[in-house]
Amino acid sequence: MTTPLAPTLEIQRTLWVWCGVYVSAWVSGLLVGAPDVAPSDSSATIASAYATSPSVLVNAALVHGLAAVALYGLSTLLGSERMRKATRGAGLATLVLSLVQLSGEALLTFGLASDGAAGVIGLDSGQIWAAIQVVDGVKMLALAALVLFVLFGQARRVLWATLVSGATVLALLVSAAGHLTLIAPLMTAAYVALPLLLIWAVVAALRFGTPITAPEITQAS
């Protein structure tokens, strides 16, 4: 029988690097900003919002690109041995869905929708934007699963870390419901879910590193 021990120093350092990249990418993306678009806006309004906001692609590259890669990096080092496949699977799902969102943002930014300046596809800006939100809703479900997998993999759960995880999951589920149904009031839960997710990432790096086992230490020595 193996005995779980603390994560190695190398794992802890790598966790903090991924955590730092993840949080920094999101904060930078928020500072860059994104178009203020609502589900009730027309396709023309959405197309215009993206056409006049060239920085949106920088925002998308940060939050859907760099942050997603960093979160996947975190997921490969989080959780227990028995939950490792599930944790990595959830992390990979969030990465793939984020890249789909990034592609959609690029279509809108470059005016490739049917109502854009260089329209080359059969979907208008409103349809693409709605699809991005639905994908975001699915991604939030994957994020909630990731948080739960990491939490359930812990043999000993610290109360404050459990509370942070629980609050994060709840906010993600409410926000996911809003994005999947395009109900604006529920979508605003993302303003709560995102800060909680960033806090959770720090907590995860601090508390939930993948433990090494006694046999692994013996082999290493």
Most confident of 27-41, 68-82, 116-130, 163-177: 163-177
Most confident of 102-111, 114-123, 132-141: 132-141
Helices and strands: H and E segment counts in the chain? 10, 0
Q: What is the mean pLDDT of residues 29-37?
A: 89
Domain assignment of residue 216, yes or no: no
Most confident of 45-49, 103-107, 171-175: 171-175
Domain assignment of residue 138, yes or no: yes
Which residue has tokens 């909680």? 196
Q: What is the mean pLDDT of residues 188-217?
A: 78
Domain assignment of residue 181, yes or no: yes
Q: What is the mean pLDDT of residues 198-214?
A: 75
User: In which band, very low, low, confident or very high, does the pLDDT at 117 lie, cut at 50, 70 and 90?
Assistant: low
Domain assignment of residue 112, yes or no: yes
As for how many domains the chain has, the answer is: 1
pLDDT in tens, 49-75: 888 877 889 999 999 999 999 999 999
Q: Virtual CA dihedral for 190, 55, 26, 121, nearest 10 degrees? A: 60
Domain assignment of residue 218, yes or no: no
User: Which pLDDT belongs to residue 5?
Assistant: 45
- The DSSP secondary structure of 6-31, one letter per residue, reads PPPHHHHHHHHHHHHHHHHHHHHHHH
Domain assignment of residue 114, yes or no: yes
Domain assignment of residue 61, yes or no: yes
User: Which pLDDT belongs to residue 213?
Assistant: 47
- Asked if 219 contacts 34 with a C-beta cutoff of 8 angstroms, the reply is no
Domain assignment of residue 221, yes or no: no
pLDDT in tens, 136-183: 999 999 999 999 999 887 767 778 888 999 999 999 999 999 999 999
Q: What is the mean pLDDT of residues 83-109?
A: 93
User: Percent of the chain having pLDDT more than 90?
Assistant: 53
User: Which pLDDT belongs to residue 212?
Assistant: 46
Q: Show the domain range for 92.
A: 9-209
pTM: 0.86
- Asked if 32 contacts 55 with a C-beta cutoff of 8 angstroms, the reply is yes
